[in-house]
Amino acid sequence: MIVIGISENAIIFLGVKILIDKSEIADYLSRAKKLIVQNKFSIALNSNRMTNLSLFDEYLIDEERIKIILLDLTEDDFCEKVQNKHVQFQHEWLYIFGKEISLMKRYEEKAKWFLYISSLI
């Protein structure tokens, strides 16, 4: 999805008629961070989330480091809001965030990884 406009209060995306108010993103992050602090979150590690599995296999990272990264997210890390594609959950919206971080590869020198975080509340 391509961002075509950012104002003080809203983000507008090309090709999709979604106007997202920055206060919505701030509210979402606030609610999500409260749950993270309370350890009421999980990282899906199943066949539907191969990217998550490969992250833990290929890099020296654990759930505590993931928690720190999630708590460091800001409105500026927001990428897009998309409708869940799974038939049973099409009523849900996913908020996608991206943050560039440096991680140590398990068997190599330091590498950069662009972490995409999608979640819903």
CA-to-CA dists, residue 72 to 90, 105, 116, angstroms:
28, 21, 13
Element (H, E) at 18: none
Its domain, for residue 44, covers 3-119
pLDDT at residue number 118: 60
- Supply the CATH number for residue 61's domain: 3.30.2310
Number of domains in the chain: 1
Per the prediction, the chain carries an average pLDDT of 78
pLDDT 10s digits, 57-110: 888 888 899 999 999 999 989 988 888 888 888 888 888 888 888 888 887 765
pLDDT 10s digits, 24-62: 999 999 999 999 999 988 888 877 778 888 888 888 888
pTM of the model: 0.70
